[in-house]
Amino acid sequence: MEIRDTHILVTGANRGIGRALVDAAVRNGAERVYAVARDTTSIARFSREPHVTTLLFDVTDPQQIEAAATRVGRLDLLINNAGVLEPADPISADLALVERNLQVNFVGGLRVIRAFLPRLEAQHGSIVNMLTMASLASVPSMAVYSASKAAAYSMTQALRFQTGRTLCQRARGVPGSRRYGHDSPPGHAEGRV
């Protein structure tokens, strides 16, 4: 997908991969980039960028998502990047932690897709769900995280067939296991994603 002149929404834009994706989209000529975070002070640096609009919402809060969706007109690309990585095994982990991983990494992404799908359909747009290799192969100390990402992977496969949308899955190591804030996001050099 060409980035130039597109309208892109990136969740989890406050640091790491999300921040790098916003920067790369602007650098490669996106007309409008919606940078999303739970706390707008964490994305205040984007307020100086004329092509970036900051949006406040938590992917676990349906009302915040719906309110933000009313502020977005055209949308060509949705990047579901918001997530949590909380190392835990399924036997000893507090169930609240298990539920939080599922709510953020799986249900949250689905909520965002549902809210913005009409805008994407109007533009024949695409969705990128940021996943990890842990969605395909679980590690005992991260089994809860892996399960939440495996659910997101499975959802992505189902949505690809159900909606006919172009849904991409980006699996690049395990976010949070390295500092991704300084890495170049995929496709940035060519202005493609």
Digit-coded pLDDT (tens) for 167-180: 555 544 334 333 33
Q: Of 8, 10, 23, 3, nearest to 181 (Cα)?
A: 23
pTM over 0.95: no
Give the torsion sign (CA, 134, 144, 164, 129): negative
Topology (CATH level 3) of domain 7-171:
Rossmann fold (3.40.50)
Quote the pLDDT of residue 77.
96
Q: Which residues are catalytic?
A: 145
pLDDT tens per residue across span 69-87: 999 999 999 999 999 999 8
Res. 138 pLDDT band, cuts 50 70 90: confident
For residue 186, is pLDDT > 50?
no
Contact 187, 25 (CB under 8 A): no
**Tally of residues, the chain:** 193
Q: Of 96, 14, 24, 104, nearest to 54 (Cα)?
A: 14
Res. 135 pLDDT band, cuts 50 70 90: confident
